[in-house]
């Protein structure tokens, strides 16, 4: 009787791949075979059978327990674990060392326990990236701003702004000195139009002259409150410089800038029709899909991001109060000045209560931002270099785990993602709510 009860429990534990519980059963079994009565055997063995069962359904899986500050956005369906058996794997793999052990428990996050509030979401088009972004901001119940490049976001609680109908002045000081703001704008325009160093320097000088003509001086902060110049003012200064040029070299220098300054002397940049505080305090979607050129679109985005950065320092330290969602974020990160402001926001936003959510079809393009990211979510992808980078990022140095993730990313259904359980340091498979 003792031997029969003991050995009946062991196959169950092996099937679950729970080797710690298996060894425990052996020790417990030896003990009861030697010392326990027949009536105690079922109770002792039941404790070792119950342990892996509880582990299997996720009660003690080590993920964040739901609290009043947590948000639950899906169900964990599997955990990637070292195991030679694929029989019960949630997704069959060719790997001889890893399998997806099936689970079923809520995937919950407490943002206040994270090192920062920043999120990266990667995956191919239509894989569920936007759905995840909407889930998070809906569950967080905090203020948000969405840069929507395709006009796809519809959120009832948000004000939707058509960016093609707004006016924004990039020469607004945004809390900076005239000299500092002129430098930022000059480098932004260099990034947008690939200006040379000499052209950038001359453009910077034109901007300084424009501030001076408006009575705004670096040495007098009281003047920083005056209405800033516009690119039309810069264009007027450029025309005067051209007409007074004393040499062909000087004339050519200004003429080389004329197409760009003329383009910037656009009605879009003539004044400010949007209130930066409204963008920051309210739930806003900025629809960029109808903006006529990528250059104008980029300048609008960077100007707003720098406005947010300035506002943070005037607001002071805070808990999480704002999430900024940047869909197709490589559009901004591909420019040096765009990457610069996003790095600043992701590095410093935590203490001011700001979170940045970067959405991209490529994790490689987020490479320099990822050290400042707390949550990384990978949806389906098939592009080889993207598979390689994402798999290495999630697996670290484990080659077999890398291969398992690489294979899985190609098989994911829409709305299913791979991420790290940051509370247990394991790789998990999560199905989003609503999928």
| Residue 86: band (very low, low, confident or very high) from pLDDT cuts 50, 70, 90 | low
Q: Give the pLDDT confidence score for residue 424 in this predicted structure.
A: 83
For residues 185 and 200, give the distance between their C-alpha atoms in angstroms, rounded to a whole number.
10
Distance, C-alpha 143 to centroid of its chain: 16
Element (H, E) at 25: helix 19-35
Three-state DSSP class for residue 270: coil
Residues 6+ apart with CB under 8 A from 121: 129, 132, 133, 357, 358, 359, 360, 377, 379
| Residue 27: band (very low, low, confident or very high) from pLDDT cuts 50, 70, 90 | low
For residues 311 and 332, give the distance between their C-alpha atoms in angstroms, rounded to a whole number.
20
Q: Give the pLDDT confidence score for residue 221 in this predicted structure.
A: 96
Three-state DSSP class for residue 146: strand
Average pLDDT over residues 74-80: 95
Q: Do residues 130 and 434 make contact, with C-beta atoms less than 8 angstroms apart?
A: no
The per-residue pLDDT for range 374-393, each reduced to its tens digit, is 999 999 999 999 999 999 99
Q: What angle, 0 to 180 degrees and rounded to 10, lies between the N-to-C axes of helices 197-213 and 178-193?
A: 140
- Comparing CA positions, the residue from 131, 134, 128 lying closest to residue 414 is 128
DSSP per-residue string spanning 358-382: EEES-SGGGTTTGGG-SEEEE----
**DSSP letter at 266?**
-
Side-chain-facing half-sphere of 377: CA atoms under 13 Å: 30
For residues 187 and 337, give the distance between their C-alpha atoms in angstroms, rounded to a whole number.
7
For residues 117 and 212, give the distance between their C-alpha atoms in angstroms, rounded to a whole number.
40
The per-residue pLDDT for range 348-374, each reduced to its tens digit, is 999 999 999 999 998 888 999 999 999
- Comparing CA positions, the residue from 369, 420, 422 lying closest to residue 394 is 420
The per-residue pLDDT for range 261-300, each reduced to its tens digit, is 999 998 889 888 888 888 888 999 999 999 999 999 999 9
Helices (H) and strands (E) in the chain, counts: 14, 11
Average pLDDT over residues 396-420: 94
Q: What percent of the chain has pLDDT over 70?
A: 82
Q: Do residues 295 and 334 make contact, with C-beta atoms less than 8 angstroms apart?
A: no
Residues 6+ apart with CB under 8 A from 61: 55, 76, 79, 103, 105, 421, 424
Q: Which phi and psi (to 5°) does residue 359 adopt?
A: -115, 130
Alpha helices, H only, 334-424: 336-352, 384-395, 399-409
Q: Do residues 395 and 401 make contact, with C-beta atoms less than 8 angstroms apart?
A: yes
The per-residue pLDDT for range 243-266, each reduced to its tens digit, is 998 899 989 999 999 999 999 998
The per-residue pLDDT for range 140-178, each reduced to its tens digit, is 989 999 999 999 999 999 999 999 999 999 999 999 999
Q: Which phi and psi (to 5°) does residue 366 adopt?
A: -100, 5
For residues 214 and 223, give the distance between their C-alpha atoms in angstroms, rounded to a whole number.
9
pTM of the model: 0.83
- Residue in this structure with the two tokens 């070292």, named with its chain if needed: 82
């Amino acid at each position: 009787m003792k031997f029969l009860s003991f050995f009946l429990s062991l196959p169950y534990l092996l099937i679950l791949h729970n080797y710690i519980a298996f060894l425990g059963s052996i020790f417990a079994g030896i003990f009861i075979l030697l010392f326990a009565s027949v009536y105690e055997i079922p109770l002792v063995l039941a404790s070792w059978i119950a342990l892996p069962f509880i582990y299997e359904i996720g009660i003690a899986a080590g993920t964040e327990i739901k609290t009043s500050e947590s948000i639950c956005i899906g169900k964990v369906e599997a955990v990637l674990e070292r195991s030679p058996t694929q029989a019960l794997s949630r997704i069959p793999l060719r790997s001889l060392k890893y399998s997806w052990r099936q689970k079923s428990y809520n995937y919950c996050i407490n943002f206040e326990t994270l090192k920062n509030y920043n999120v990266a979401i990667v995956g191919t088009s239509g894989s569920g990236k936007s759905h995840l972004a909407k889930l998070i901001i809906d569950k967080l119940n905090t203020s948000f701003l969405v840069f929507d490049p395709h006009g796809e976001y519809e959120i009832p609680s948000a004000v939707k702004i058509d960016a093609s109908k707004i006016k924004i002045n990039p020469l607004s000081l945004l809390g900076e000195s005239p000299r500092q703001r002129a430098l930022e704008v000059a480098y932004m325009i260099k990034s947008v139009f690939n200006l040379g160093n000499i052209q950038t320097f001359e453009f910077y000088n034109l901007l300084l002259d424009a501030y001076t003509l408006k009575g705004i001086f670096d040495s007098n902060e009281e003047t920083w409150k005056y209405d800033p110049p516009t690119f039309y003012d810069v264009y007027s200064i450029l025309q005067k410089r051209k007409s007074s040029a004393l040499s062909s070299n000087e004339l050519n220098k200004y003429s080389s800038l004329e197409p760009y300054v003329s383009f910037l002397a656009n009605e879009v940049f003539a004044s400010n029709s949007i209130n930066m505080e409204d963008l920051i305090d309210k739930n806003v979607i900025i629809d960029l899909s109808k903006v006529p050129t990528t250059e104008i679109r980029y300048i609008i985005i960077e100007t707003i991001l720098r406005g947010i950065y300035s506002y943070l320092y005037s607001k002071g330290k805070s808990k999480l109060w704002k999430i900024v969602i940047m869909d197709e974020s490589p559009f901004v990160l591909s420019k040096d000045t765009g990457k610069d402001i996003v790095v600043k926001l992701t590095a410093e936003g935590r203490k001011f209560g700001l979170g940045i959510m970067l959405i991209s079809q490529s994790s490689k393009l987020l490479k320099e931002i990822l050290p400042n990211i707390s949550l990384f979510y990978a949806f389906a992808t098939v592009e080889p270099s993207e598979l390689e980078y994402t798999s290495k990022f999630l697996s670290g140095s484990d080659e077999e785990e890398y291969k398992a993730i690489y294979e899985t990313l190609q098989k994911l259904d829409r709305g299913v993602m791979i991420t790290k359980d940051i509370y247990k340091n394991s790789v998990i498979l999560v199905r989003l709510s609503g999928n």
